[in-house]
Amino acid sequence: MDNKFTVVTFGCWLNKADSDLVITKLKLLGWEYVEDIDSADTIVINTCAVREEAERNELKLLAELSKKYPSKRIIVTGCLTRVRPAAIRESSPNAVIVTSHGVESIDEIVGGGDNVYVYDDRPMKYLPNYYPELHGHRYVVPIQVGCLGNCSFCVTKIGRMGFGKVRSYDKHDLINAIKRAVNSGAREVYLTGQEISAYGRDKGYDLVDLLEELLREIDGRFMVRLGMMEPLELSRILDGLLDIVKSDWRVYRFFHIPVQSGSDRILTLMKRKYSASFFRDIVTRIRRVFPDATIVTDVIVGFPGETDDDFWASVRLIEELGIDKVNLARYSRRPFTEAAYMEQVPEQVKKERSKVATEIFSKVSLERNKPFIGREMWGIASEVDFRGENYIVRSYNYKPIAVKRVDIGAFVKARIIDATPHRLIGELLASEELGIRYRVDFRISEGLDLMS
């Protein structure tokens, strides 16, 4: 068998980082990474188990690949391997199944003869390399796995065997990996994990310590994006984190803090470790320091037992706090979770609530975006938009700004001329790599001249 491989990734940024680790380990073996499945001899499918829809799509893909490519080796990893191993085997009888903690050992697995590899722990020794030809300007790095919560709806705690326990990468290993990536051209560094606000609880230090050392030891123009942070753990480090963001322009003013519900009764049923007022206090503390910070949250509608009053409590909380973006999800019944055995909300009710919430949350997002019209903002040209018509600049507060022409990875400045609920519309003023060097003040508030 030739050693050409590809990786198909479902799910979160942590899964993306794990897929990059698979790519790293196999490339170091001398294997060749290819983009298309047709050219690959080995296909790695990195699965997600969070929602039923994702599970269906993954199992369907596995069945199609097994039928179309009977001679190719298929390796399945990710959260679904613990949640639905029998369904995976039914969809792809010859697949090699590797539980998610096995990604650090993928180079050993591909040389073995078993068809199931179960790992109950992760060594936290190996990090993905940054390959400019594959990753462009962005380096996604996992900093921890596991979660100190035990939510009643969460299937990830089963898929990754992580509830009540946190495993963190050594901060010096992380800093060295990020330094290599930045020196090789990375402009955006995504710190990801299941709950990055719990980083270092097993090491005797925390996320603030990591950021302080990282920013002190690594020179260069790059931006750090923080991953999801649970309210309770975030509160423990929030003051120090805000000081870091205030003192160094290289950390996006972006906070992803999932609330899940604005009803204390539902939060209790979810086994979340905070109240709505606790979440409100965190958002207020952030807004006090950074009024223009982008705050993203997650909301589940139709959780078992949710009444109309509970639903509207969630809606009112988002309106009151002016949350920039809401990742809205209809509750999805997942196996082996406590919530799966609670009294379920009818699907039609969930759909109706989801529709209402989507409309209201879009209005809230638009009202948050409108005040930026007329302002000049700087950021990094991050990606081509989903329609392929514009380029998306991620501003210093991670707001997406659509512009017509820019080089990916360039620091740019744009004037905001319009806004939608989903993005700002910008007119490009200056770019360090496009040759558009108008005489404009290209300084951010901290005084850094990005055009020098």
Determine the residue type at 130: Y
| Two tokens, residue 440 | 């404009």
What's the rounded mean pLDDT across residues 170-198?
97
Are the C-beta atoms of 196 and 143 separated by less than 8 Å? Answer: yes
- List where CATH 3.40.50.360 sits in the chain: 4-117
Buried b / exposed e over 428-441, threshold 16 CB at 10 Å, is bbbbbeeebeeeee
pLDDT digits (tens, 9 = 90+) for 298-330: 999 999 999 999 999 999 999 999 999 999 999
For residue 2, the model assigns a pLDDT of: 67
154: left (phi over 0), alpha (psi -120 to 50) or beta: beta
| H helix count then E strand count, the chain | 14, 18
Q: What are phi and psi of 198, to 5 degrees?
A: -95, 5
CATH superfamily of 132-367: tm_1862 like domain (3.80.30.20)
For residue 73, the model assigns a pLDDT of: 95
| Two tokens, residue 235 | 């509160």
Q: Are strands 424-431 and 400-403 parallel, antiparallel or unpaired?
A: parallel
| Residue 354 pLDDT exceeds 70 | yes
| Two tokens, residue 211 | 């950021």
What percentage of the chain reaches a pLDDT higher than 70? 95
For residue 384, the model assigns a pLDDT of: 87
Instruction: Output the average pLDDT for the chain.
Output: 93
Per-residue pLDDT band for 452 (boundaries 50, 70, 90) equals very low
First CA to last CA distance, the chain: 52
Name the more confident of 357 and 443. 357
pLDDT digits (tens, 9 = 90+) for 76-130: 999 999 999 999 999 999 999 999 999 999 999 998 888 999 998 999 999 999 9
CATH superfamily of 4-117: Flavodoxin domain (3.40.50.360)
What percentage of the chain reaches a pLDDT higher than 90? 88
Are the C-beta atoms of 116 and 97 separated by less than 8 Å? Answer: yes
pLDDT digits (tens, 9 = 90+) for 55-77: 999 999 999 999 999 999 999 99
pLDDT digits (tens, 9 = 90+) for 139-177: 999 999 999 999 999 999 888 876 789 999 999 999 999
For residue 351, the model assigns a pLDDT of: 98
Q: What does the angle CA 282 – CA 286 – CA 292 come to, to the nearest 5 degrees?
A: 140
| Residue 394 pLDDT exceeds 70 | yes
Measured distance CA(108)–CA(95) in Å, rounded: 16
For residue 112, the model assigns a pLDDT of: 86
| Residue 382 pLDDT exceeds 70 | yes
Q: What does the angle CA 357 – CA 360 – CA 362 come to, to the nearest 5 degrees?
A: 105
- List where CATH 3.80.30.20 sits in the chain: 132-367
Per-residue pLDDT band for 431 (boundaries 50, 70, 90) equals confident
Across the beta sheet with 188-193, the strand order is 165-168, 138-147, 188-193, 223-226
| Residue 437 pLDDT exceeds 70 | no
| Residue 218 pLDDT exceeds 50 | yes
Q: What's the 3-state SS for 35-85?
A: CCCCCCCEEEEEECCCCHHHHHHHHHHHHHHHHHCCCCEEEEEECHHHHCH
Q: Return the minimum-mean-pLDDT range out of 7-16, 160-169, 214-223, 224-233.
A: 160-169
Per-residue pLDDT band for 433 (boundaries 50, 70, 90) equals low
Nearest to 286 by CA among 213, 237, 319: 237
| Residue 42 pLDDT exceeds 80 | yes
Are the C-beta atoms of 286 and 293 separated by less than 8 Å? Answer: yes
Are the C-beta atoms of 177 and 127 separated by less than 8 Å? Answer: yes
Which of the following CATH numbers is that of domain 373-431: 3.40.50.300, 3.40.30.10, 2.40.50.140, 3.90.1210.10?
Answer: 2.40.50.140
| Two tokens, residue 111 | 């040389």
C-alpha 65, offset from chain centre: 27
- List where CATH 2.40.50.140 sits in the chain: 373-431
For residue 430, the model assigns a pLDDT of: 86
